[in-house]
Amino acid sequence: MLNPYAQSFLASCALAAISTALPAAAHAQPRETSPTMTIPAEAVPMIPREHLFGNPEKAGGQISPDGQWLSWRAPKNGVLNVWIAPASDPSAAKAMTSAADRPISQYFWAPDSRSLLYIQDKGGDENFLLYGVDIATGAERTLTDFENTRVQLIGTSETIRDKILVGLNNRDARLHDAYLLDLKSGELTLVQQNDGFAGFLADDNLNLRMALRPNAAGGMDFFTITDGVIAAAPTDSTALEDSLTTQPAGFTTDGETMYWIDSRGRDTAALIAQNVATGVKTVIAENDRADIGGAMTDPKTGEIEAYSFTYLKTEWTAIDPDIQSSLEWLGTRLEGEFGVSSRTEDDSKWIVWNDPVTAPSQTFIYDRKAQSLASFYVGRPELEGAPLQPMQTLELTSRDGLTLPSYLTLPAGSDADADGIPEAAVPMVLLVHGGPWARDSYGYNSYHQWLANRGYAVLSVNFRGSTGFGKGFISAGDLEWGRKMHDDLIDAVNWAVEQGITADDRVAIMGGSYGGYATLAGLAFTPDEFACGVDIVGPSNLETLLATIPPYWEPVIAQFHERMGNPDTPEGLAMLKERSPLYSAGNITKPLLIGQGANDPRVNQAESDQIVSAMKDKGIPVTYVLYPDEGHGFAKPANNVAFNAVAENFLATCLGGRSEPIGDTIANSTAEIVEGAEFVKGLKDAMGG
């Protein structure tokens, strides 16, 4: 099957996107504003924040490989844990994990169906350890019990089901050594010490077959491994332009075919099969607008059966006729997008998710033999009947002619004739994705729905540098932080103003990670473009950002330097300083709200501290919310809800939308209001001050 580690390796080395991008805080003198239309509170029911951002009732549904068990994540004492129930009796559910503080965000079944495996960090530090729970006894244990260590999954096997390959950086924080983990005994056996490689690829026999090492050009060299010996010279290489769109993706079970995601010789990444014996490569699928996005593989053979591309929406194409028949059958019964999240080893049952956008997502159990579709759960049943709004797909054009795939959500009741344009201009929030080597996609989006419900148009733009649209689109963002990447955002706002969607003085900018940087850049570099902004864990100083990256990102530092700027050269350092909002903080005149996790390993707390200090020194009001138990984003629902409470009340002050009172959300979270409580409506009262 396609190796999940290989597929996501390079993307994980970028500043990842955050699902908790949020709004902005108050300051500056009030000014005259253009007339806009906001929806009266009585006209559209207010969707409670808790319904959008609190714990789901259930999430992450799977079925065990042997088909005997259903599993999912659900609250236990208010914290998301992993639950199971017999597939024959879903009502006989029991919690298998005992997380009491941070929610469990990822879990998976052991190949032999005898245990559940999950990862967990401490306080958002992203030093994820691997844990296992025995299904028969319920015994839970730490499988990688090391301090300051981050586990990686290298490979699982169809034929060796009681073992997996993992990477551990407990010897050297920069490098992950490969270990064979016995899931029964917990024994770890060193397979390959890592002396400078970014990662490894294994076959179904759990033998390492390839090593990946960054090269000086900002790309990657690929070395074959034979009988445990890494070749002296690479057999394949990429330069910078293909570095984010080319990587090996895994082997078939028999080891005779290796799959590639490959953009070499083309713009978009194709799905390619390589005959291991002869080296001959065959293109399975390619698309001139989008990179290969996903694949379904036979649980037994590992052969690809279907693939997808995502341009504006995801489109699946089946190679295998039986898979095609099943996908077509599902397509006639499910409204909106759907996908397969889990399959039994005999492929008789699938777990299928369905996203109708304007209704809560639902998960089903699909019996392929019986041709039946049974409801597994609705993730957020409290949203049934809520005024969720459709999402529009757009193709905008940048000032230099690039097409920018984008998404727009309008407030309920604002577009009576359903032509995609409100009858009168409404305030708008430009919601910027993180990464920047990531993308926005179509589907239910809690932030789009939340902000639209509060009376705002919400626009998300895939600016240059976003992934999924070919290497040329990514490379167009090289060395363009705060310049052409930002121009794309401004062009999108100008389009919205020209269309009558919003007014030029009623637009907020908000986002997390790179989206937080874009917020700071928007207020510092283009201070007249936005009415206010929200920065969530965004870097303010690109020089210090690159100097404090996690140690396990060091192997790919050359790519950061080539795409952002090289601080080791005088011209590179000068550019990084020029593009850092910190050095233009004095230009900020509009309301700003900052949210930060104290344990963030990607964007250190100092990034937020620096710009808050600079703004205070210049007498510019700023509101700063710090979470001592969070990292790169807010994992705990209570913290997420609290920040959103602050954010929507700020936006109500800044843009004139509606909001729920902050209430006791601050008291129920770990939020520390470091600065500027007086600039957000109701915040001082919520703090008891």
Model confidence over 139-155: pLDDT tens digits?
Answer: 999 999 999 999 999 99
- In this predicted model, what pLDDT tens digit does every residue of 603-642 receive, in sequence order? 999 999 999 999 888 888 899 999 999 999 999 999 999 9
- The catalytic residue among 71, 460, 513, 608 is 513
Task: Name which of 472, 446, 379, 454 is nearest 414 in CA terms.
Answer: 454
How far apart, in whole angstroms, are the C-alpha atoms of residue 676 and residue 689? 13
- In this predicted model, what pLDDT tens digit does every residue of 464-517 receive, in sequence order? 999 999 999 999 999 999 999 999 999 999 999 999 999 999 999 999 999 999
The answer, yes or no, to whether residue 658 has pLDDT greater than 50, is: yes
How far apart, in whole angstroms, are the C-alpha atoms of residue 334 and residue 356? 8
CB 680 within 8 A of CB 650: yes
The answer, yes or no, to whether residue 584 has pLDDT greater than 90, is: yes
Q: Looking up tokens 């390589």, which residue turns up?
A: 274
Please give the backbone phi and psi of residue 180, each rounded to the nearest 5 degrees, phi first.
Answer: -95, 125
- The catalytic residue among 221, 236, 440, 600 is 600
- The catalytic residue among 71, 629, 632, 669 is 632
Cβ neighbour number for residue 512 with a 10 Å cutoff: 32
Give me the count of residues in the chain: 689
Distances (CA, A) of 492 to 339, 399, 501, 528, 618: 30, 10, 11, 15, 31
What angle is formed at CA 120 by the lines to CA 123 and CA 204, rounded to 5 degrees?
150
Task: Name which of 25, 26, 47, 20 is nearest 431 in CA terms.
Answer: 20
DSSP class of residue 283 equals: E
**Would you call 414 a catalytic residue per the annotation?**
no
CB 213 within 8 A of CB 237: no
Confidence of residue 3 (pLDDT cuts 50, 70, 90): very low
Distances (CA, A) of 598 to 79, 592, 632, 687: 21, 19, 9, 20
The answer, yes or no, to whether residue 317 has pLDDT greater than 50, is: yes
Confidence of residue 70 (pLDDT cuts 50, 70, 90): very high
CB 681 within 8 A of CB 26: yes
Of 26-35, 202-211, 256-265, 558-567, which range is least confident?
26-35
Distances (CA, A) of 146 to 99, 107, 127, 284: 18, 19, 10, 42
How far apart, in whole angstroms, are the C-alpha atoms of residue 485 and residue 487? 5
Q: What is the pLDDT of residue 621?
A: 87
**Would you call 513 a catalytic residue per the annotation?**
yes
pTM of structure:
0.93
- In this predicted model, what pLDDT tens digit does every residue of 666-678 receive, in sequence order? 999 999 999 999 9
Confidence of residue 40 (pLDDT cuts 50, 70, 90): low
- In this predicted model, what pLDDT tens digit does every residue of 203-233 receive, in sequence order? 999 999 999 999 988 999 999 999 999 999 9
Express as a percent the part of the chain with pLDDT over 70: 94
Q: What is the pLDDT of residue 618?
A: 86
Which uninterrupted H or E stretch holds 175?
Answer: strand 175-182
Confidence of residue 17 (pLDDT cuts 50, 70, 90): very low
Q: Looking up tokens 């019986």, which residue turns up?
A: 370
Quote the strand ranges of 570-631, DSSP E: 592-597, 623-627
- In this predicted model, what pLDDT tens digit does every residue of 269-291 receive, in sequence order? 999 999 999 999 999 999 999 99
Q: What is the pLDDT of residue 205?
A: 97
The residue-averaged pLDDT of 396-424 equals 97
Please give the backbone phi and psi of residue 487, each rounded to the nearest 5 degrees, phi first.
Answer: -55, -40
Confidence of residue 689 (pLDDT cuts 50, 70, 90): low
The answer, yes or no, to whether residue 542 has pLDDT greater than 80, is: yes
Confidence of residue 31 (pLDDT cuts 50, 70, 90): very low
Confidence of residue 595 (pLDDT cuts 50, 70, 90): very high
Q: What is the pLDDT of residue 27?
A: 26
The answer, yes or no, to whether residue 2 has pLDDT greater than 60, is: no
The answer, yes or no, to whether residue 1 has pLDDT greater than 50, is: no
Which has more pLDDT, 7 or 409?
Answer: 409
The residue-averaged pLDDT of 650-675 equals 96
Q: What is the pLDDT of residue 688?
A: 79
- In this predicted model, what pLDDT tens digit does every residue of 346-380 receive, in sequence order? 999 999 999 999 999 999 999 999 999 999 999 99
Mean pLDDT of the chain: 93
Q: What is the pLDDT of residue 216?
A: 87
The answer, yes or no, to whether residue 555 has pLDDT greater than 60, is: yes
The residue-averaged pLDDT of 142-170 equals 96
**Would you call 361 a catalytic residue per the annotation?**
no
Residue burial 277-305, b: 16+ Cβ < 10 Å; e: rest: eeeeeeebbbbeebbbbbbbbbbeebbbb
